[in-house]
Structure 1
Amino acid sequence: MRNLSPLRYPGGKVRLAPFFAQLLAIQDPVPTRYAEPFAGGAGAALRLLDEEYVSHIHINDIHPGIAAFWRSVTTHSDEFIQRIETTKVTISQWHEQRAIFEAGPNGDDLALGFATFFLNRTNRSGILTARPIGGLNQTGRWLIDSRYNKQGLISRIKRIQELADHITVTELDALDFLDSIEHYEDNIFVYADPPYVVQGNKLYLHAFNADDHKTLADKILSAPYPWILTYDDEKIIWQDLYGAERCARFNLAHTAQNSHIGTETIIYGPTINVPRTQEITPGVQANWI
């Protein structure tokens, strides 16, 4: 499996795609659709579609810049690629793109989508509100263009362009998005990766508070489709909110700010068939809580 996402994302779950493929294969019936209400980089979704484990993916993100990016690369791929080819990766350009990003939606999806992409590829850890790699004075070991391989990124977008008819992009609140897909019932597999309970406000543009986590739990626990969630390893998640469901703990490398091994929780919905061995990523087993 290859990573097709052009976006870098803190805590991105693209590495879980092989496990998700295994999960999909043992459901009855096997869902043909896959959805992410907090899509971000959508790395796992794109892998599953590219490898034909599903025939359609639903990418949802409430952030206008992220949603504009996905709309742009699926509906205006050629224009987006042209911008990658012609835009210089410099600090002056970074300031220009940041101004476009901070101005927000103005009717030009392509401009906002590209600005979001540019900052994601040139900022530390891909965090949209961070400073550029190498700093504003470009004195660091790594410089602003170190994660901006134009040809590699263009290749990914061309493949997404080929798959575009099998991708639906929405810009909804997660709860509204979950409502919008209920009619698919057991033909859609939902993977939710909500903002972390701890440090969520440092990593996410739309962080959750305690009420938000509770509201999401109330919604998804009554959903008619098969679903799984991943969260940071916090007692409020695996005991208070999802204590009646099957919860397991696993280790995952994180790259935001400082690289480290973090512990996360995976929660399985009540209708999900779970494999006997939970190899979440190669060589990493999840253990029941």
Structure 2
Amino acid sequence: MATATRYMLAEGLGVRPPLKWAGGKRWLVPHLQKIWKKHSQRRLVEPFCGGLAVALGLLPEQALLNDINPHAINFYLWLKKGLKVGLTMLNEEESFYKCRARFNELNSKGKATSREAAELFYYLNRTGYNGLCRFNKKGEFNVPFGRYKTINYDQFTDEFKHYKSVFANWQFSVSDFQSVAVQDDDFIYADPPYDVEFTQYSKEGFAWEDQVRLANWLAAHPGPVVLSNQATSRVVKLYKSLGFKTKILDAPRLISCTGDRASAREVLAVKGV
């Protein structure tokens, strides 16, 4: 992996993710590193890469990072090209809603993969409420203004140039998890939307039937698999029934979809590790 600045690197946590992300798994990286070190020659595949906390924590040489959210992936693809943000970013309510309207306009006009859309997505992510990434049934971004006292945008955008080298051998894709081009010896880490809780991560949502479909898809993979999810009784029962070993962890809820920041119990289910 190419070098990163001292600001980007954190003790034991790899490289700082470029986005704020509700349900991000940076806290889980030390647990995953213990498993990953035996498989670090493999390609890392994430069907739900989200905010990239795990990929940037493990720093694999090769990775296939997928998500159903095309706007996050578009942002990462522009970072890979060496994105420099030219947008004037203001921590002001009027500016936020103008940019949100422009972002939704670009999407409605088929320009969701443009550089402008990537810049706006970053601004909305940093300025919107609680780092949420939420869309209505029309596919419109509808997160409200965050009302932060201060946001040091330059501190983050100055580091964008380093992601180009970090992402050099990483592939990004947008699809349902079952369409991800997985190879038999890949190491899969899956972090789907939590069971029961907020499921409007994308306009399609993620229902219990999708949780079951995912579990069966992961169970069929011949290589190593790690899953994390909310430790509901039905999730734990499902993965145990498919031969996974499970461990319950206390997860810090640093950014919650509801504003609740209490800790929560999370299950780590593993197979073939």
- TM tier, shorter chain? 0.7 to 0.9
Call closer, same or farther: CA 1:25–1:164 in 2, change over 3 Å: closer
Asked whether the equivalents of residues 200 and 208 of structure 1 are also in contact (C-alpha less than 8 Å), the reply is no
Q: Alignment partner for residue 50 of structure 2, among 18, 25, 40?
A: 40
Report the 3-state secondary structure (helix = DSSP H, G, I; strand = E; otherwise coil) of the residue aligned with 1:172.
coil
Q: CA RMSD in A?
A: 2.1
Specify the code of the residue in structure 2 equivalent to 1:239. Answer: K
Q: Alignment partner for residue 58 of structure 1, among 61, 64, 84?
A: 64
Specify the code of the residue in structure 2 equivalent to 1:47. Answer: G
Structure with more helix by fraction: 1
Q: TM-score, normalised by structure 2?
A: 0.82
Matched, 1:20 2:18: no
Specify the code of the residue in structure 2 equivalent to 1:259. Answer: R
Report the 3-state secondary structure (helix = DSSP H, G, I; strand = E; otherwise coil) of the residue aligned with 2:172.
strand
Q: TM-score, normalised by structure 1?
A: 0.78
Which blocks of at least 5 consecutive residues in structure 2 are unaligned? 1-12, 134-141
Q: Alignment partner for residue 149 of structure 1, among 142, 149, 152?
A: 152
Partner residue in 2 for 1:90 = 92
Partner residue in 2 for 1:283 = none
2 CA distance for matches of 1:115 and 1:206?
22
Q: Alignment partner for residue 101 of structure 1, among 100, 103, 126?
A: 103
2 CA distance for matches of 1:117 and 1:206?
22
Asked whether the equivalents of residues 65 and 101 of structure 1 are also in contact (C-alpha less than 8 Å), the reply is no
Aligned length: 246
Specify the code of the residue in structure 1 equivalent to 2:46. Answer: E
Report the 3-state secondary structure (helix = DSSP H, G, I; strand = E; otherwise coil) of the residue aligned with 2:263.
strand
The runs of at least 4 consecutive aligned structure 1 residues that moved more than 6 Å come to: none
Partner residue in 2 for 1:277 = none
Asked whether the equivalents of residues 36 and 190 of structure 1 are also in contact (C-alpha less than 8 Å), the reply is yes
**Shift in Å at residue 169 of structure 1?**
1.1
**Shift in Å at residue 12 of structure 1?**
0.4
Partner residue in 2 for 1:5 = 17
Which blocks of at least 5 consecutive residues in structure 1 are unaligned? 135-141, 273-289
The share of aligned pairs that are identical, in percent, is 21
2 CA distance for matches of 1:66 and 1:94?
18
Asked whether the equivalents of residues 9 and 127 of structure 1 are also in contact (C-alpha less than 8 Å), the reply is yes
